[in-house]
Chain A
Amino acid sequence: MATRAVSLPVAGPRPTLGVALLTVATLGLLGLCVLLARLAQSSAQAPVAGWPWLLGVAALFVVGAAGVRQVAQGESRAAKIVPAAAALVLFLLSAEALLRAYNVPTGLIPTPTHIAQALWAARTVLLLDAYYTFVLEALLGFVIGALLGLALALLAVRFRFLERGVLPYAALLSSVPIVALAPVVIKAVGLGWSSKTVIVAITVLFPVVINAVHGLQSASPLYLDLMHSYAASPVQTFREVRWPAALPFIFTALRVSSTLALINAIVAEFFGTEGHGLGFRIQIEVGRFGLDIVWAAIVVASVIGITFYLLIQLLEQRTLHRRV
């Protein structure tokens, strides 16, 4: 069946040209940044106007974008990876140059280098914060919520009454914003980290229950009939048919929840802590315009979030023996 879309002729890929353009853009932007840093150090006089720098950065950015366009052609591995990496570098360098050129106060929008410096300077504090937010709150809450969710789903599938009586509420409650839940739970459980764990567990619970029930019921009637014809026991039917059918659904919920867990732990911390956690750090530092620390905390949270997500995805691939 030749049903592929029509491929129109495109200009042949010219990766060498692309690499050259990217090199020019990167070095140029780097040069601008160094120049701006030098100027800021040496001259105490009034800063030069911003717009010539803006023009320069814009021109180099366009050159870089053209380079990205060239290297993005074709189906090679490089064509798939290099553009993203180049885009990030171009973006960071341009931001650095523009923020410096316009003398944006670091208290307001810190440059990437300032963020990197803050990250290094505050590393011990941030790591401790991350321990509280991720390990004690997000991860623990995730595990508790997922296990409870699975247990509830099994019960709901076993007892139709529960499915009909509880599941609709679960679906309804999953669209409740956690910011509304957080203050109440924190007042009830206390300011310590465990209140955030509870909040995360609650927010993980709903998607897991809903997806797991859906998955457990997704087993094909044909397979169920087949097991029936073998006179298989309920346990066998569960192990051979229902559980494998449910796994992809459960993993989807886990993947989505993995990012939600961290985000919700951070947001929950906005409503009260005992002075630890990335959310607490962000809130405190925003209050005193320490935005470089705020960004550093966000970078830490992002790295953890992406790593956690990828780990769950890896687990999924291992378990389901397939590429996702």
Chain B
Amino acid sequence: MTQVSSTRPIVSVRDLGMVFPVPGGQTVALQDANLEIMPGEFISLIGPSGCGKTTLLRLMADLVRPTSGSLSVNGETPDAARQKRAYGYVFQAPALMDWRNVLSNVKLPLEVMNLPREGRDARAREMLKLVGLEKFERSYPWQLSGGMQQRVSIARALAFDPPLLFMDEPFGALDEITRENLNLELLRLWRETGKTVVFVTHSISEAVFLSTRVVVMTARPGKIEGVVNIDLPHPRGEDSREDPRFFQYATEIRELLKKGHA
């Protein structure tokens, strides 16, 4: 599962900048960001609050337009990639629709994209099985715990089989144990589907545990401080956390974060 293939990058960010006008001035949310993501990679963006992680992800997803620089997704502009439904997005909150049960929440993208009616149920069930919620397809969101809701939203993002997955602190609001379980599940999903994942997190250990590469960002102005290659073997499990290299990487990331703070 190493990505030594010489294919073109799936995401390529060049001198990207984003400035928001705010009352009485402006906020530089992102400055001169450069990054190339290869197909099949698991990239984590890590950094303190307000360093532009969400902004970078939203730029890639064409939810906002950059004020400077350029970026391409799947070799196209983000807009064209979105038009081709090239990525699934998992938000910080589950953002499920209260009036749809679990199954029909997962079917939502299939409906919007007018995919064949017959295949929808089967596909949605398959995704629910992948996140271990096949028993809850008739439940409504309010009947699920936060962790389960977030798993539904991951199933929903996977339902239309996009090659790319953007995840913005998907496990930020969960307790440690649920979070570690979901981390394992996410890694399994990533291995099984071969998708490219861009993952935003606050947690150093989560980033090290999940990623092939960790992009360390710092705030004011938001910029990329450095990139750390995580050379831990796959598949990873609980024992990966015991690996001495795990601590090395974590320390390296912490140093980079401190550097930005100074």
Contacts and interface: CB of A to CB of B under 8 A. Distances in A.
A1 B92 CA distance: 9
Contacts of B58: 2
Contact of A6 (B29, B63, B92): B63
A6 B92 CA distance: 16
A153 B55 CA distance: 51
Contacts of B63: 6
A6 B54 contact: no
Contacts of A3: 91-92
Q: Among the interface residues A1, A2, A3, A6, which one has the most CB atoms of the partner chain B within 10 A?
A: A2
Interface residues of A, number: 4
Contacts, number: 11
Interface string A1-21: 111001000000000000000
B189 interface: no
B64 interface: yes
Nearest to B93: A3
Interface string B22-66: 000000010000000000000000000000001100100001100
Contact of A1 (B29, B54, B64): B54
Contacts of B29: 2
A218 B55 CA distance: 39
Nearest to A2: B54
Interface residues of B, number: 8
Contacts of A2: 29, 54-55, 58, 64
Interface in A1-53: 1-3, 6
A3 B91 CA distance: 9
Interface in B63-80: 63-64
Q: Is the interface of A mostly helix, strand, loop or mixed?
A: loop
A6 B29 CA distance: 16
Nearest to A4: B64
Contacts of A1: 54, 92
Nearest to B65: A9
A2 B63 CA distance: 11
Nearest to B63: A6
A260 B58 CA distance: 48
A22 to B, nearest CB: 28
A144 to B, nearest CB: 42
A6 B79 CA distance: 13
A241 to B, nearest CB: 29
Contacts of A6: 63-64
Nearest to A6: B63
B171 to A, nearest CB: 16
A245 B29 CA distance: 40
Contacts of B64: 2, 6
B240 to A, nearest CB: 31
Nearest to B64: A6
A3 B63 CA distance: 10
A3 B58 CA distance: 10
Given A2-B55, A2-B58, 5 more contacts: A1-B54, A2-B54, A3-B91, A6-B63, A6-B64
Interface of A: 1-3, 6
11 contacts: A1-B54, A1-B92, A2-B29, A2-B54, A2-B55, A2-B58, A2-B64, A3-B91, A3-B92, A6-B63, A6-B64
List the 3 shortest-distance A-B pairs measured between CB atoms, nearest first: A2-B54, A6-B63, A2-B55
